[in-house]
Amino acid sequence: MDAELFPRSRTQVAPGAVHVPDWLDARAQRELLDACREWARPPAGLRTVRTPGGGTMTARQVCLGWHWYPYGYARTVVDGDGAPVKPFPDRLGALAHRAVTDTLGAGTARDAAYDVALVNFYDGDARMGMHRDSDEKADAPVVSLSLGDTCVFRFGNTETRTRPHTDVELRSGDLFVFGGPSRFAYHGVPKVHAGTAPRELGLTGRLNITVRVSGL
C-alpha cells in the first residue's frame, strides 16, 4: 500500500523497544526470503516444535547457529532429525548490529556477538502465545524482522503475560528491536492477517526472523 491515510512512523513502544516500519526495502526482503527458503530445507530444516506438555507450536521453525528447543539451546536438532544446526551467517550478524545501532544507538550492541537466528513460519491459523525470550544467557537486544503477511505483534511487560500490553502491526519489511529494560518482556503474535503479503514478494504466509546473542 503506498497511499496510507496515516503514514507509519518509527515508534518507541516501551523503553528499549522500537518499531521501524519498512526497514528492509523490497530487494532486501526478497534476498532474505530466498535465504529462508534455503535454510528451511532438510537436514536441520523447518520443523514442528513440540512442547513438553504434549502440545505443538503452530508456527514452524528453523534455527541457525544454535538450535532452540523448549527450553534450551543445542548444537544439533535434538528434538528433530538430530542433524547439526546450520551455521549462523555473518550477514545476519551485520544486519543485527545495523538494526540495533539504528534503533537504540551506536554504543548499545558494539560488543554483542550475534550468533543465533530463529526463523518462524506462520501459515494458516498459526500464531504464537505470550512468552519471554529467556533461554539466552546474554541480555543483548533481540532483533526481529518480518516478511510476508501482516500480523498483530503484542508487546507486553516483564512481569505478567497479561496487560498492560501494546498491539503493533508488523508488516513485510518491518523491524522491531527489544533490548534494555524491555529485553525480557512478554510478547506474542495473536493474529496473522492471511493474504496481506506484498504480491511482488511471492510469499504465502508470514516469516519472522529473530536474531539474538546466545551468550553460550
Ligand X SMILES: O=C(O)CCC(=O)C(=O)O
Binding residues vs ligand X (CB under 6 A):
118, 120, 128, 133, 144, 153, 170, 187, 189, 208, 210
> Does 135 interact with Fe ion (rule: CB under 5 A)?
no
- State how far the Cα of 178 lies from the Cα of 142, in Å rounded to an integer: 5
State yes or no: 133 annotated in a binding site: yes
- Stated length of the chain: 216
- Whichever of 109 and 143 has its CB closer to ligand X, that residue is 143
At 91, is the secondary structure helix, strand, or coil? helix
> Does 169 interact with Fe ion (rule: CB under 5 A)?
no
> Does 133 interact with Fe ion (rule: CB under 5 A)?
yes
Shortest reach from residue 168's CB to ligand X, in Å: 10
Q: Which does 95 bind (CB under 5 to 8 A by kind): ligand X, Fe ion, none?
A: none
Residue nearest to ligand X (CB): 208
Shortest reach from residue 186's CB to ligand X, in Å: 10
- Whichever of 97 and 171 has its CB closer to ligand X, that residue is 171
- Whichever of 110 and 137 has its CB closer to Fe ion, that residue is 137
- Whichever of 148 and 198 has its CB closer to Fe ion, that residue is 148
- State how far the Cα of 135 lies from the Cα of 195, in Å rounded to an integer: 33
Bridge partners of 45, per DSSP, are none
Q: Which does 169 bind (CB under 5 to 8 A by kind): Fe ion, ligand X, none?
A: none
If phi > 0 it is left, if psi is from -120 to 50 it is alpha, else beta; for residue 123 that is beta
Angle at alpha carbon of residue 53, lines to 48 and 58, rounded to 5°: 30
Shortest reach from residue 144's CB to Fe ion, in Å: 8
Q: What is the dihedral of CA 200, 203, 204, 210, to 10 degrees?
A: -130
- Whichever of 154 and 171 has its CB closer to Fe ion, that residue is 154
AA letter at 210: T
- State how far the Cα of 17 lies from the Cα of 173, in Å rounded to an integer: 17
CB atoms within 10 A of CB 209: 22
Candidate ranges 9-17, 26-34, 35-43, 132-140; the one touching Fe ion (CB under 5 A)? 132-140
CB atoms within 10 A of CB 200: 8
> Could you tell me which residues are annotated as the binding site for Fe cation?
131, 133, 187
The contact set with Fe ion (CB under 5 A) reads 133
